[in-house]
Amino acid sequence: MRKSLYLLLMFLLLLSCSACEVNESTAVADDKNTLPVFAASEAQALSSSIVEVEPASDSSDIIKVEPASDSSDIVEAEPAPETIEKKENLSEESRDWYFLRNKTHQLTEVNNEIKEILEGNQAFYVLPNEEKRIYLTFDEGYELGYTGEILDTLRDNNVKAAFFITGHYIKSQPELLKRMHSEGHLIANHTWNHPDLSQCNSEDLKEEILSVAEEYEKLTGAEMAPYIRPPMGKYSEKSLDLTRQVGYSTVFWSMAFKDWDPDDQPGAEYSYQHVIDNIHPGAVILLHAVSQSNTEALDRIIKTLKDDGYVFSTFPLPHSQATVTQTNAV
């Protein structure tokens, strides 16, 4: 009898162990089925917490801009639309224009991200070429009595430049503007009120640009060149896109220095040496016309650069506006 009970207990124990193995096997199988779901959920949570890091501004993150074949590669500006298209996912982050200069007379450099933003929004800061063409530009926000002398120097050296003007300049200096136009210079846009365009909404940005163009045409009877320099070099991806939609190309620069403060002028020798040391084919040179240093150095700058084989040019115009010779190849 005891032997029979013992055998029965052993049999029940074996059945119990077998059931445990079946349950454990099922649990592992179920666990395997849920693992991919869990892993995907975890990966999604992790990816949403990743923050992209801006590239460092050292030489390893900088690339050279590929040369364009010539200035005709610039897309001509389209007429300003009645309404501005609202694009999604454009960055509104305010940026300051910057580049890495060199004294080897090579192109100044910007990183790849900036290059792509410029190319996608009809903006530029150099016009690379093999003929040593360069572009002399002046920002004109207000007048301190130097622009007349600058125009004399340009006339005497048979050089055409681009002048970026504000609304204030149109109202306060109509005769100088008429002279710029009559002497064949390129007159371009520097906005009406000189605001940070990255902080403007679409309607304000459009008004800032088109009001200057309208007043200039009333004064001279001519269309303004479809180029704009953003005040203070402030921009965003969105402001560049809006500017393009208004019909303008944004022009930055590949050479500039602190020359805009009339009470803190570096002197004519500094202005001269900075331009000569940093010149390169395709350079867009930014000078402020309120600078006594620039005014006194300009004649010497032009003569030295011409002696070195550089050719002063202006940006191309749409066919409807190309009524004067745009390139001075003296």
pLDDT tens, position by position, 108-133? 999 999 999 999 999 999 999 999 99
61 is catalytic: no
Reduce the DSSP state of residue 7 to 3 states and report it: helix
Residue 142: how many other CB atoms lie within 10 Å: 13
CA neighbours closer than 13 Å in the CB half-sphere of residue 156: 11
Confidence of residue 17 (pLDDT cuts 50, 70, 90): very low
What confidence score (pLDDT) does residue 318 get? 75
Catalytic residue selected from 139, 241, 259, 299:
139
Integer Cα distance of 247 and 85 in angstroms: 13
Q: Does the pTM exceed 0.75?
A: no
Helix (H, G, I), strand (E, B) or coil at 224: coil
Find the catalytic residue in 96, 288, 308, 319. Answer: 288
Which of 164 and 102 is assigned the larger pLDDT?
Answer: 164
Q: Is 307 one of the catalytic residues?
A: no
Q: List own/partner pairs for 21-25 with CB under 8 A and 24 or more apart.
A: none
Pairwise CA distance, residues 68 & 129, whole Å: 7
Start-to-end CA span in the chain (Å):
126
